Chain A
Amino acid sequence: MRFIRAIPLLFFCLAVGATAAGEPAAPELSSLHGKVVYLDFWASWCAPCRQSFPWMNELQKRYADRGLTVIAVNVDHERADAEKFLRKLPPAFQIRFDPDGDLARRFDVHGMPTSVVLDRSGKARYTHIGFRNADAAQYEQQIQQLLAEH
């Protein structure tokens, strides 16, 4: 339930972040509203992320027109490491950089990778710690269910 408390904070930061000079750590408010958001925390050193990226690519492609936005938040210390990873696994979704872990802390990340699924009203409905291809089907079902909601 900490996630619910985090959401207003997140939206506040979105507003601040959008206007701040330099790299915003949070996605823009306007593009999120009404969309189902799959927020994924990843790092270049996280081996399961090499499997989650191709799957998230498919996910974004398949459900973009139904209102899904995949945002992958990178927590690498060095931006260069993240960029090296992205060259090998080019993303079809948005990437944000959170090197100090502020967003990770706000979403109470307890493992890598962690994905938080927000519904159309911005409420965090599911949190997954870790990623396995075997679980992908179940995650997709959850997203379909949230997309069906209005």
Chain B
Amino acid sequence: MKPRFIALCLMGALCLAGTVLCTACSSLGVKPWQRDLLSRRDMQPGGSRLDDAIDEHMYFSKEASSGGRSFGGGGCGCN
């Protein structure tokens, strides 16, 4: 594994861990009734799934990288 990638991964992991820890202080985030904008389709990770799938097919056939994206969370947080 190239050192540069390991460094990036570590940074990424620290950012993720830091984010999760910070949120325990509940200074990050919103109250459940404040998710009006987040519930909009264009604000949801995965909200443009169909366009992304068509684009991915185009890029997959022309480039060496593909994927890496995935979606979970966000949205209205209902139920």
Contact flag (A, B; Cβ within 8 A): yes
Tell me if B79 and A130 are in contact (CB < 8 A): yes
The B interface, classified by DSSP as helix, strand, loop or mixed, is loop
A116 at the binding interface (Cβ < 8 Å): no
Stretch from B2-10, B11-19, B29-37, B61-69 forming part of the interface with A: B29-37
Residues of B with C-beta under 8 A to A76: 36
CB proximity to B under 8 Å, residues A104-126? 104-105, 109-114
On chain A, which size bracket covers the interface? Answer: 20 to 34
The A interface, classified by DSSP as helix, strand, loop or mixed, is loop
Tell me if A112 and B40 are in contact (CB < 8 A): no
Interchain CA distance A75-B40 in the complex, whole Å: 16
Tell me if B31 and A43 are in contact (CB < 8 A): no
On chain B, which size bracket covers the interface? Answer: 10 to 19
Residues of B with C-beta under 8 A to A130: 78-79
Tell me if A104 and B79 are in contact (CB < 8 A): no
Interface string of A75-116 (1 = CB under 8 A from B): 111000100000000000000000001001100011111100
Residues of B with C-beta under 8 A to A110: 32
Tell me if B31 and A46 are in contact (CB < 8 A): no
**A113 to B, closest residue via Cβ:** B78
A41 at the binding interface (Cβ < 8 Å): yes
User: Looking at the complex, which one of A112, A114, A132 makes contact with B35 (CB distance below 8 Å)?
Assistant: A112
A3 at the binding interface (Cβ < 8 Å): no
User: Looking at the complex, which one of B31, B35, B40, B79 makes contact with A105 (CB distance below 8 Å)?
Assistant: B31
